Amino acid sequence: MTQILMPKATAVWLVDNTSLTFEQIADFCVLHPLEVKGIADGEVARDIRGADPIANGQLSRDELDVAEKDAAYRMKAQKSRHAELLKPVKKAPRYTPVSRRQDRPDAIAWFIRNHPEVPDSQLSRVLGTTKATIDQVRNRTHWNSANIKPVDPVTLGLSTQLELDAVVRKAADKRAKEAARRGEVEPEGATLRPASETGAAHDEQD
């Protein structure tokens, strides 16, 4: 079987974007089913951004469609034409301080408090996190909930101000269109404020 590049990142993408079983994902990525379950629960690979195996040429759309319709089917990986370019560069082990490990949950909490209209799919993309982790922070079931504090993702270095403003603006436009479709009038001040403003307000409160 062709070896999957970035197996955990691939598993993260498959968990978030397909209806495959844990066993199917585990078999394709050569992982243990419990490890895949841990990814789905947000306990494993929390800081790994998903890697699309279709986009990088390791899985065909037809193969995925067949697998989603048959839980007993095991997908066959393809050898990517870009395999050499996709191989991760080996780096020396680097210790990550405990204070930095909670950056993403803190940023998620900031979005939930200041911009709840931003969809989870956008949060996942901007912060490089999973929907499971977002739900855990929102529902306060995250293992470290007691220590999570809302912090501007720009301050944490997880996104640029331009990226943050774009996400906020897109959510505001979508909400305005939905309100107009329902014939509702947006109350004054209901439109999402720029991220820079909410960040400033947060700083003043702190």
Q: Are residues 198 and 134 in the same domain?
A: yes
Q: Are residues 76 and 105 in the same domain?
A: no
The verdict on residue 1 lying in a domain is no
Residue with tokens 């906020």: 168
**Which among 55, 86, 117 is the end of a domain?**
86
Q: Are residues 19 and 72 in the same domain?
A: yes
> In whole numbers, what is the pLDDT of the chain averaged over residues?
79
d(Cα 161, Cα 158) in Å, to the nearest integer?
10
d(Cα 164, Cα 40) in Å, to the nearest integer?
26
Count the domains in the chain: 2
Q: Are residues 73 and 113 in the same domain?
A: no
Domain hosting 30: range is 7-86
Under the banding of pLDDT at 50, 70 and 90, the label for residue 82 is low
Give per-residue pLDDT as tens, 39-63: 988 888 777 888 888 888 888 999 9
Q: Are residues 103 and 188 in the same domain?
A: yes
Rounded to whole angstroms, the maximal C-alpha distance in the chain is: 59
Q: Hey, what are 33's tokens?
A: 């089913």
Residue with tokens 């992982």: 31
Enter the pTM of the model: 0.42
Give per-residue pLDDT as tens, 190-202: 444 555 555 544 4
The verdict on residue 93 lying in a domain is no
The verdict on residue 186 lying in a domain is yes
pLDDT at 100: 47
Contacts of 204 (CB under 8 A, 6+ apart): none
pLDDT at 178: 80
Residue 64 Cα distances to 119, 125, 180, angstroms: 26, 22, 38
Question: By C-alpha distance, which of 45, 32, 53 is closest to 132?
Answer: 45
Q: Are residues 113 and 195 in the same domain?
A: yes
Residue with tokens 């048959």: 70
The verdict on residue 92 lying in a domain is no
Q: Are residues 78 and 104 in the same domain?
A: no
Q: Are residues 74 and 131 in the same domain?
A: no
